[in-house]
Structure formats: structure tokens, C-alpha cells
Amino acid sequence: MLTQRKKEFIEFMLSAQVLRFGEFVTKSGRNTQYFVNTGLYRTGAQLSRLGGYYAALVKETLGSGFDAMFGPAYKGIPLAAACACALWLDHNIDKPYFFNRKEAKDHGEGGVTVGYQPKDGDQIVIIEDVITAGTAVRESMSILRACGGIKVTDVFISVDRCEVGQTPGKTAIMEVQEEFGLRVHPIVTVADVHEYLKENGDAALVKAMEGYMERYCVLG
């Protein structure tokens, strides 16, 4: 269901040119009518608003019932930082965040993560942008498992593309949920974007997107 908050988030992504409509090809070689690139957020105002959307979803889903947020390098770093700020400013929830280095540092403090250092028993959540094939989540889980006896429970993302993964009838998100026991929470889904287009887009684009969804998406 396209709620007012979801509609506002879609329009926010459009205003930042993070969400674009047209003809695109994904890394998997699929033709798609929309593209999401969170690397295009570039102002303080945008990051503040973005953090607010993530924080609202985290608060609604978990409250303060977790220990820290992990933002995978590179795009997840500003997402986790923005979410941490908004959790404090909007909800009075003060939680630490951390992120990984692309290469381990062999001097100074060393290590592969920066920021909060997870402890045994910690409940960690991942703040990501978009899950397409699940590769980034698998990389994150490998990093986090090396941190010790922590529990990774939830992943928060901007958009669920609902695209089929490697298993027929299952999306990439369904696959990582089953593989790692994760719960994945999107701010919006491809179905929400489709509903928005039906209300605000042109008929040709809506029809093309419906063809894409029928071919590549698994909708619950």
C-alpha cells in the first residue's frame, strides 16, 4: 500500500535524482525502467532527511532494542551515520555505528572496522541502500561474523526491488533472509514505486514497468 510516507520518500528520491525513470541495464544485465543510486545524495539537507526516513523505520521496527548499526563501505557509511543522528534527534535513541575498511589497516589502531567495536552478545543491524543480488549482504555477514559472538538480526534498506535471485520463485532478499536468518525492512518496494507511477507517471512507462515486474519480480 502506498502510504503518504512512502509517497514522500519516493518524491524525495526523485528530487535528489537518486531515483530515475527511463531505460537502464542493471549489473545482472536486466533491462529496467527505474534506477536507484544512493551515491547521489550529496547535501546536508538530503542526508538529514534520508536519516529521518531510516530512523523512523528502525524505531518503528525495533525501538531501541539493538546495540549498534553497521554501514557497509562505501555507500552504507553515510547511511548509518545519518540514521544514528536522526535516531538521536528525532527519537532520543542514542546508538553507535561502525563501518568496515576496504583494506585492513596494519598500523595505528589496526583492524578492519572503524567506530564502535562490537562485543560478544551484541545485537547488530545493517543499514544498506538496495539489495539486488545479495552480494553486499553476504560480504557484510562475513565481516561481522569475524567480529566475534555477535548477533545480526535486521537489515534496513531504501528500496526492495523484489527481483528474483538465483533460486526460481525467490527474491535475493528472500535468499539472504533464509541463509542468514535476517529480517529485511525496506522503506519502499518496487510495488510502491509502481503504484506511485500509476498515479503520477505516463501510461507507456507504467506498462513497460509492469512488463519488467512480471518478468523479473516476485511479489508477495
Query: For this structure, is 194 an active site residue?
Result: no
**CA nearest neighbour of 70 among 84, 56, 60:** 84
CB 37 within 8 A of CB 13: no
Q: How far apart are CA 145 and CA 122, in angstroms?
A: 12
Q: Alpha-carbon distance 32 to 30, whole Å?
A: 6
Cα–Cα dist 179/123, whole Å: 18
Catalytic residue among 75, 105, 151, 185: 105
Alpha helices in 92-152 (DSSP H): 135-145
CB 87 within 8 A of CB 59: yes
Point out the catalytic residue in the list 107, 170, 198, 207. Answer: 107
Q: Which residue has the cell 523505520?
A: 57
How far is C-alpha 133 from the chain's CA centre? 13
Q: How many CB atoms lie within 10 A of CB 39?
A: 11
State the DSSP H helix or E strand holding residue 69, giving kind and residue range, or none if neither: strand 68-71
Catalytic residue annotation: 105, 107
